[in-house]
């Protein structure tokens, strides 16, 4: 390995760059395709890291399972020609050993690997003592704890240049997305690990080129730190994920349309207005909590009376009446039926829990 390159790669933490862009084909297919794609991406002047799948986890056997180790020299060549850092998916200690011997800068753990603590532990053990940048994709299923488990295993192995990739979650029968974004899960992850960078993978969320811009913009609005997007010099003939890859040129157009957001503003007027509105929100939130607490006190009294009168805790007709009335009121004030429904469901369930406690 070229030590100069190694030192440069280990000294810089690419994840510290806000607005990091990782792009490249779903799979490395041949040297020409990879180098051509890398050159076109590099010419945009906006891409930091070249991604390419070398080993592909496929649902069915017999499909194209990646070119394997023989693709790593192509990646190294693309890196030398363009100066882009490189990223590959690893799922085993052997993948890591091979990737490191070809000076790959960023390793990512795929969604099908994050679900398996055995594999994650093997990966963590193999990475011990390295200074690699590792990105962990969310698990295929919406299980926050599995994602957290992977962070903890890698942290314990001393891997501190860690980032997360939100690529959406598998759900049966979802037609709008290939993998439903379920934004509340990455938002919770950002709350739990505020210092770990969060990247969005709109390609695997959308599963098609349609929607890439809006999903990417939404991630920027949610203060994500960057994007990992699939881009291929000839998407129509790509061996994997053909429908969701875009040409580097289209990627350039899309990146230009994105509106970057800051977590704060330097304009005094904006800061003052925000502070004022937030104070109003804080006051209203406190009022809401007091109102809910009062409501629960009354629910408790009703529970005691129901016990005395031997009346059932659950009164479906009454609940339906409340729901209909509040949905109508909410609608007239611009609140959606879905939102009122889920708020009232949470409140009603808590009332039932309180009344059940009295009655048992």
Partner whose binding site includes residue 307, from Mn ion, ligand PEP, none (CB under 5 to 8 Å by kind): none
Q: Which does 137 bind (CB under 5 to 8 A by kind): ligand PEP, Mn ion, none?
A: ligand PEP
Helices (H) and strands (E) in the chain, counts: 14, 8
Among candidate residues 20, 21, 26, the one with its CA nearest the CA of residue 232: 26
* CA dihedral of 145, 147, 153, 155, whole degrees rounded to 10: -110
Binding partner of residue 73 among Mn ion, ligand PEP, none, CB cut-off 5 to 8 Å per kind: none
User: In angstroms, what is the minimal distance from the CB of 65 to Mn ion?
Assistant: 13
Return the closest-CA partner of residue 233 out of 254, 223, 250, 248: 248
Least distance CB 53 / ligand PEP (angstroms):
5
Q: What is the DSSP string of 211-233?
A: THHHHHHHHHHTT--EEEEEB-S
Question: Among Mn ion, ligand PEP, none, what does residue 167 contact (CB within 5–8 Å per kind)?
Answer: ligand PEP
Q: Which is nearer to ligand PEP, 157 or 165 (CB)?
A: 165
Is 110 near ligand PEP (CB under 6 A)? yes
3-state class (DSSP) for residue 139? coil
Candidates 106-114, 190-198, 218-226, 348-356 — which segment interacts with ligand PEP by CB under 6 A?
Answer: 106-114
Part in contact with ligand PEP (CB under 6 A); list of ranges 30-38, 110-118, 258-266, 277-285: 110-118
Question: Are the beta carbons of 65 and 91 closer than 8 angstroms?
Answer: no
Candidates 79, 137, 232, 247; binder of ligand PEP (CB under 6 A) is 137
Residue list 242-301, contact with ligand PEP (CB under 6 A)? none
Binding segment for Mn ion (CB under 5 A), chosen from 76-84, 233-241, 252-260, 273-281, is 233-241
Strands (E), 57-148: 85-89, 106-109, 133-137
Nearest-CA neighbor of 55 among 89, 92, 103? 89
Q: Which of 33, 67, 69, 70 is nearest to 50 (CA)?
A: 33
Please say which residue, 79 or 137, places its beta carbon nearer to ligand PEP.
Answer: 137
Q: Which stretch binds ligand PEP (CB under 6 A): 74-82, 104-112, 271-279, 297-305?
A: 104-112
Contact residues: ligand PEP, CB under 6 A? 26, 53, 57, 89, 110-112, 137, 167, 204
């Amino acid at each position: 390995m070229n030590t100069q390159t190694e030192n440069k790669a280990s000294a810089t933490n690419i994840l510290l760059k806000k607005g990091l862009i990782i792009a490249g084909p779903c799979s490395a297919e041949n040297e020409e395709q990879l180098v051509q794609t890398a050159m076109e991406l590099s010419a945009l002047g906006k891409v930091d890291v070249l991604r390419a799948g070398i080993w592909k986890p496929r649902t069915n056997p017999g499909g194209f399972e990646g070119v394997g180790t023989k693709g790593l020299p192509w990646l190294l060549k693309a890196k030398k020609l363009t100066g882009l850092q490189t990223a590959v998916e690893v799922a085993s200690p052997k993948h890591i050993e091979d990737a490191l011997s070809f000076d790959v800068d960023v390793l990512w753990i795929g969604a099908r690997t994050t679900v398996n603590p055995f594999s994650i532990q093997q990966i963590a053990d193999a990475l011990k003592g390295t200074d690699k940048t590792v990105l962990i994709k969310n698990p295929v299923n919406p299980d926050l704890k599995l994602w957290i488990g992977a962070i903890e295993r890698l942290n314990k192995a001393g891997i501190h240049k860690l980032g997360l990739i939100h690529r959406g979650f598998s759900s049966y029968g979802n037609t709008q997305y290939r993998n439903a974004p379920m934004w509340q899960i990455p938002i919770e992850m950002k709350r739990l690990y505020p210092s770990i960078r969060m990247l969005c993978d709109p390609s695997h969320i959308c599963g098609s080129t349609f929607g890439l811009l809006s999903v990417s913009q939404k991630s920027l609005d949610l203060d994500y730190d960057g994007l990992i997007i699939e881009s291929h010099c000839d998407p129509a003939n790509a061996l994997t994920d053909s429908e969701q890859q875009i040409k580097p040129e289209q990627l350039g157009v899309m990146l230009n349309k994105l509106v970057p957001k800051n977590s704060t503003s330097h304009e005094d007027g904006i800061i003052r207005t925000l502070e004022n509105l937030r104070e109003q929100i804080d006051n209203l939130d406190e009022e809401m909590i007091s109102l809910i607490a009062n409501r629960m006190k009354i629910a408790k009294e009703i529970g005691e009376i129901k016990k005395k009168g031997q009346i059932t805790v659950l009164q479906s007709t009454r609940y339906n009446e409340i729901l209909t009335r509040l949905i109508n009121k909410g609608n007239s004030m611009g609140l959606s039926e879905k939102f009122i429904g889920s708020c009232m469901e949470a409140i009603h369930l808590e009332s039932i829990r309180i009344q059940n406690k009295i009655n048992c």
